[in-house]
Chains A and B, each alone.
Chain A
Amino acid sequence: MTISRRHFISGMGSLTLLGSPLFNARAASMKKKNFVVVMLRGGMDGLTAIQPNDSKMQKVRPDILVKGVKKLNSDFNIHPRLKSFYECWQDGKASVVHATSIPYTLRSHFDGQNLMESGGHTPYTEKTGWLGRGIEVSALGGLAISLPMPLLLRGNNTLDNFFPTWMSLPNDGDLSVIQSSYSEGSALAEVMNRVRSRPVSMMQRNGDNKAHELAVVAAQELRREDGPRVAVFDIGGFDTHAAQGGEDGAHGECLADFDKVLSTLRHGLGDQFDQTLIVTLTEFGRKVEQNGGYGTEHGYGTAVLMAGGLLKSPQVYADWPGLATKNLFERQDLNATTDARSVYCSAMSACFDIDFKTMQDKAFFGDPLKDLTDQLFKV
């Protein structure tokens, strides 16, 4: 099963880049900061990535407990496959928010992924994403560079997506005739305008479009002073109901995929890594107890992993609820004591230089979120 899951993961990679300040007055007057969101689909297990020092773990996860972990502090250890992440930690450029989740507790991937991207409360009701709305309020619109446009980014009608094909496009004269059939002002016409204004350099394909290969392009683009400011990655395969395993198991492989994206970005960004914030996003965590197939079931509380020079200090930020059965959500899951949207709202506020309250109102419907900017980020 491990082999095929690997295949699944590598096939899933996609990347979205956006926010060219070229045409944008506000962006031009700001110091360039980069914001990268890595979506971990399937339910990332915070207890595997960042393990609490708690004897209960051994008891409820005898067959899948990760050995060879590295110590972060007296309370938490990190999975050995998060190698670059751990290096960032040692350099003061990584942090973790633990016992956190989006406010969704019903354990469905589809509803959960819809909500992690929309930032709302009822699945399939919001047509836009929190990051799209955050970009909108920041007036950082412009060029975007992925195959399907993720819901996370919708809400900003100046977005563009990029995921190069080997086929070639008709020439612009032909495109102009084709466009004459598109209803004026329609979404179709709007998208065609963006296609036709695309530079030739964006029409070329190199490599296989895997997540870490796209990370090379992402780093190049983000690094440019006049390049995009936001990138979104999509990594799948975290739904490990079986063979979740220890160090070399399916969940470890997925974490390693994330780690590869991180190391590629860090390397490619160079000095710009100090002006960058990378955060993870997942639909839910996994149950504390292992199941019969050496995997775990859908849970609730998880962790957000963050890296980059815009972090204040290496820390595991958590109002830790503990793993005693009475403290678990529905007596089975790590509880979430921090709304993960507080982290994302604070992160956008820090990266886009917009006050927290405005971001809260515009991107998260004025929901009661906590301003964590001072605790987590350099402002």
Chain B
Amino acid sequence: MKLDFFRKIGFGLAPDEEIPSDPIAWAERQVEKPAKLTWPGQIPSEQELLDHRAEFVYQDRKVIREKFKNDRKAYEEAKTQLRYKTGERYFPSLETVIRHHAAVKGEAPVFERLWHFWCNHFAISEKDMLDRWNTGGYQREIIRPNMCGNFTDLVKKVTVSWTMIHHLDNTQSVGPNSKWGQNRRKRGEPATVNENHARELLELHTVSPAAGYTQQDVINLAYIMAGWENKWSKKREECNPVDFNAKKHEPGTHEVLGKGYKQRGISSKTKLFDAIEDLCAHPSTRRFIGWKLVRHFVTDDPTDEMIAPLIKAWDETDGDLPSVYKALIKVVYDHTGSHKKFLNPEVWLLQCVRISGTNWPPSPEVMAYDFKSKPRQEARQPSIIMRELGHNLLAPAQPNGWPDTEAEWLSPELLIRRLAASSKFTNDRKYSVFVDYHKVAEKNFDAMDDIKYFLHKAKNVDFYSNPKRMGQALFSSEWMLKV
């Protein structure tokens, strides 16, 4: 039995969880269809959150700025009240709680790890307050339900999602020869496409730079995408459903990676989907995704041999994701013990919580919010903790998401934060629980004998033997940081 496998592919086994007798079958069962979220409290819909954003941006940009233009103090107070009313300070923490609850209490930890992976692959970076209302809902409603089908369908959903379009500026794109473009140019105004979304669709989401596309390919894909926008209205600004605006679309046939895309039927909107299908079927895409999956779960330096089974599964099923996940699961199992991965702060924290039964995340009672005042410290704690760990989940700095290698996650300051969090989660009465660490070791670690000896040392580090020190030491140990 490889006990480390349950942490390499999931979050480890909880105190009340049996050791599965067939680990591979246990893991495979979890990736066939999307798991339900387990959070017993309120889960706001993407639309509800977009309504909150709409209220905020309209009031902020159009109403209170005008109303209080001569009274800075009153303006600031009005804005603070607006933040409370729209949950601006609250939702990021709630999203963290929803995510953490599924990871530590749910019965599909392997699925949850994969969800985290895709959220980071199709990352929404810290931009224009997307983390306050939009990124979480997008992850729950666009990514999560679509990650156990075909990769192509997932990419289509993500590409024309409100959040990704706003994140990568596609609304700004105007085809130079589109109706709008022509009118603008007549008035002497510039009309050009915004290449941002097209570039990331190629570089980050599908084929990767290994496909050897050119700047012209990027521009041509931007032409193909022009017209996909978040509809604007006076009272909601950009906060309206995604729409294809044919008046901004660049007419004609444009080539990407050597293939031309022309209109089929009455609408030119299908051109983008045709292009996505070919990008997803490109050999570079399966290689890129396979490499990224193996790098996330197995090792910072994946070999061709490790990636090959994933590519094969993709070849045989035309990108059926559960088949790729099952190939991944076997590769992870085979390399458990021989290859270790330095865990990112979130996975590490969630493993510490799940294997020990630590009281985290906060309960629905703690997370209750009245939308009238500043959210309580305890309710903001999930966001705060993740920020302190250097892993502010909903707001990576760049569209390429959080890094995924030891070199990028290991520094004195980041280690200090893990050490401090280990101490906090085992000493603070809000979170700590009584734990039989010997049992935890026997259930979750192949090196259980070394760990028991280590726990004994930790407990008796000075004159006063203190069992709580066992948790703090275990959480900070190499066995927990790397698996």
Residues of A within 8 A of B (CB): 1, 3-5, 7-8, 11-12, 41, 60, 62, 106-111, 113, 123, 127, 146-149, 154, 160-163, 165-170, 173-178, 180-183, 186-188, 191-192, 194-195, 198, 203, 236, 241-242, 289-293, 295, 297-298, 330
Contact = CB atoms under 8 A, between A and B. Distances in A.
B454 A148 contact: no
B184 A191 contact: no
Contacts, number: 168
B469 A174 contact: yes
Nearest to B218: A107
B9 interface: no
Interface residues of A, dominant DSSP: loop
Contact of B461 (A148, A173, A191, A194): A173
A107 to B, nearest CB: 7
12 contacts: A12-B397, A110-B400, A127-B407, A168-B420, A169-B419, A175-B419, A177-B461, A181-B473, A188-B415, A192-B415, A242-B172, A289-B190
Contacts of B204: 110
Interface stretch (B124-132, B277-285, B304-312): B124-132
Contacts of A186: 478
Nearest to B420: A167
Contacts of B361: none
A204 B344 CA distance: 25
B215 interface: yes
Nearest to A173: B461
Contact of B169 (A148, A187, A293): A293
B397 A236 contact: yes
B129 A7 contact: yes
A181 B406 contact: no
A168 B423 CA distance: 8
B189 A292 contact: yes
B410 interface: yes
- Pick the 6 closest A-B CB pairs, nearest first: A167-B420, A293-B172, A181-B477, A149-B411, A292-B174, A4-B129
Interface in B135-188: 169, 172-174, 184, 188
Given A191-B412, A194-B412, A297-B192, A170 B129 contact: no
Nearest to A5: B128
B465 interface: no
A290 B190 CA distance: 7
Contacts of A3: 60-61
Interface residues of B, number: 66
A177 B469 CA distance: 10
B206 interface: no
B156 to A, nearest CB: 23
B169 A241 contact: yes
A173 B464 CA distance: 12
Interface of B: 60-61, 126-129, 169, 172-174, 184, 188-192, 194-196, 199, 203-204, 209, 215, 218, 342, 388, 390, 395, 397-400, 403, 406-417, 419-424, 454, 457-458, 461-462, 469, 472-473, 476-479, 481-482
B200 to A, nearest CB: 9
Contacts of A107: 195, 199, 215, 218
B419 A161 contact: no
Given A110-B400, A177-B454, A147 B414 contact: yes
Contact of A169 (B196, B416, B469, B478): B416
B125 to A, nearest CB: 9
Nearest to B466: A174
Given A178-B476, A181-B477, A241-B169, A292 B410 contact: no
A108 B413 contact: no
B397 A161 contact: no
Most chain-A Cβ atoms within 10 A of its Cβ — which of B128, B172, B416, B417? B416
B390 A178 contact: no
Contacts of A330: 215
Nearest to A12: B397
Given A191-B412, A292-B192, 8 more contacts: A106-B215, A107-B195, A111-B209, A187-B410, A188-B482, A289-B190, A293-B194, A330-B215
Contacts of B424: 167
Nearest to A123: B209
Contacts of B412: 160-162, 191, 194-195, 198
A290 to B, nearest CB: 6
A110 B184 contact: no
A209 B354 CA distance: 32
A154 B209 CA distance: 24
B481 A291 contact: no
Contacts of A163: 413
Contact of B408 (A41, A113, A148, A165): A148
